[in-house]
Amino acid sequence: MSRRLTHEDAVDGIWGGSVLACGGGGWVSHGEVMAEAATNAGTPVLASVDELPDEALVVTVTAIGAPGAAGWEIQPRDYVNALQLVMDRCQAPVVAVLTAQNGASTTINGWIQSATLGVKVLDAAGDVRAHPTGKLGGMGLTDRPGYTTVQAVAGGNRKAHGELRLVAEGTIVTTSNVLRDVSVRVGGFIAAARNPVEAAWVKKHGAIGAISYALNLGRAMRAADGSGARAVIDAACNVTEGTIIAEGPARITRPMRTHGGFDHGAFTVDGLELRYLNEYMTADRGDARVATYPDVITTMSMKTGRPATISEIKEGDELAVFHVHRRHLPLSSSTRDRIALAEVEEIMGVELIKPAEA
């Protein structure tokens, strides 16, 4: 059943999304800006996928770039403009939007578009957790025979590059790669809308219930906030069936570098190596893989109990590594997309397909 989304819901979404951000997934401060903008602009509406007829048109809304980029700028209206560009090119009305992923700001994706353009926010996502590439949030569309996408971006660092609006049509792989390059040229991050598809495809291939999952997680963590960091972490574990797989000071082994629209690097916590490409993708202890995408892998601050993002972690920070195995998560088809996973394997030089299929 549809329901109105409130500012309290948005705060829950930011808290829960921050865990599912897996070290990246946007920024809390940007999530707060988008929460204020969306709930002040109107009333976002959350709908279950079952409320939509199979033929209804749905668009994915997101942002593209590297969370560690220093020169990015996205204004709330950029998200609206990107969606409008896609809507203008669709052969039928766009009824709903869904976020490509959960995250500190990305769980709020689609709310301002709902408030201003009247589309519904689907209780679903391209991926229940954050990921580094558009293909991983594509709900398996890279494998859909004959599918041609429309992707649009809007925004950019106005002072340095001016405002940009751009539409790309073609295969998901090519258009995604082109628009990631564009994100680099406009400051590192840009608002996007993409992949118009019928609701029937989302029902079969999306991460169903992903927004409610994030809101429930955030609500439980906020309720425990007054009881200290350990209570917040325990609340996250209880809601998700998650566990803590390492605790201790961060030891940075590969300092972050931003290249090609991605943040790359690694560090260890109590001998557990966390490697990331924008988000944590693997956790290894020696030669043993402890956790692997699409598992949720997140670092939590032992001071606050809240997630510690990759770009903020400093040498010696006391962290807990939080893990939710994929069997406990609502997964989308794109988490098993061998084309998307192979691309990340090549960039990172790690194995993802075999561990994820094990």
Asked if 74 and 190 touch (Cβ cutoff 8 Å), the reply is: yes
- 305 lies in some domain: yes
- 310 lies in some domain: yes
- 220 lies in some domain: no
Are both 55 and 161 inside the same structural domain?
yes
- 218 lies in some domain: no
Instruction: Report which of 176, 204, 227, 230 is spatially closest to residue 339, judged by C-alpha positions.
Output: 176
Are both 199 and 341 inside the same structural domain?
no
- 277 lies in some domain: yes
State the Cα–Cα distance between residues 93 and 27, nearest whole angstrom: 31
Put residue 270 in one of left, alpha, beta given phi > 0 → left and psi -120 to 50 → alpha. left
Q: Quick one: tokens of 309? A: 């993002």
DSSP bridge pairs for 300: 307, 320
Instruction: Report which of 333, 308, 90, 310 is spatially closest to residue 205, judged by C-alpha positions.
Output: 333
Are both 180 and 60 inside the same structural domain?
yes
Are both 185 and 243 inside the same structural domain?
no
Asked if 157 and 73 touch (Cβ cutoff 8 Å), the reply is: yes
Are both 234 and 340 inside the same structural domain?
yes
Are both 180 and 106 inside the same structural domain?
yes
pTM for this model (two decimals): 0.95
Instruction: Report which of 234, 254, 255, 352 is spatially closest to residue 302, judged by C-alpha positions.
Output: 234
Domain that holds residue 301: 226-357
Are both 342 and 280 inside the same structural domain?
yes
Put residue 344 in one of left, alpha, beta given phi > 0 → left and psi -120 to 50 → alpha. alpha
Q: Quick one: tokens of 356? A: 């994820």
Residue where the block lists tokens 């809007």: 154
Are both 67 and 194 inside the same structural domain?
yes
pLDDT tens series, the chain, 358 aa? 799 999 999 999 999 999 999 999 888 999 999 999 999 999 999 999 999 999 999 999 999 987 777 888 999 999 999 999 999 999 999 999 999 999 999 999 999 999 999 999 999 999 999 999 988 989 999 889 999 999 999 999 999 888 899 999 999 989 999 999 999 899 988 999 999 999 999 999 999 999 999 999 999 999 999 999 999 999 999 999 999 999 999 999 999 998 888 899 999 999 999 999 999 999 999 999 999 999 999 999 999 999 999 999 999 999 999 999 999 999 999 999 998 999 999 999 999 999 888 7
Asked if 11 and 36 touch (Cβ cutoff 8 Å), the reply is: no
State the Cα–Cα distance between residues 274 and 272, nearest whole angstrom: 6
The last residue of a domain, from among 210, 239, 265: 210
**DSSP β-ladder status, 120-125 and 94-99:** parallel
Please provide the size of the chain in residues.
358
- 219 lies in some domain: no
State the Cα–Cα distance between residues 235 and 19, nearest whole angstrom: 12
Q: Supply φ then ψ for residue 118, to 5 degrees.
A: 85, 5
Long-range contacts of residues 142-146, Cβ cutoff 8 Å, at least 24 apart: 142/171, 142/172, 142/173, 142/334, 142/337, 142/339, 142/340, 143/337, 143/339, 144/201
The CATH number of residue 151's host domain is 3.40.1610.10
State the Cα–Cα distance between residues 149 and 165, nearest whole angstrom: 17
Asked if 109 and 14 touch (Cβ cutoff 8 Å), the reply is: no
Question: How many CB atoms sit inside 10 A of residue 220's CB?
Answer: 20
Are both 182 and 99 inside the same structural domain?
yes
The last residue of a domain, from among 177, 210, 243: 210
Check the CA dihedral 183-108-114-131 and report its sign.
positive
Q: Quick one: tokens of 124? A: 């679903």
DSSP 142: G
The last residue of a domain, from among 148, 180, 210: 210
Asked if 6 and 111 touch (Cβ cutoff 8 Å), the reply is: no
Total domain count for the chain? Answer: 2
- 170 lies in some domain: yes
- 193 lies in some domain: yes
**Tens digits of per-residue pLDDT, 279-327?**
999 999 999 999 999 999 999 999 999 999 999 999 999 999 999 999 9
Are both 321 and 173 inside the same structural domain?
no
Are both 234 and 350 inside the same structural domain?
yes
DSSP 143: G
Are both 195 and 264 inside the same structural domain?
no
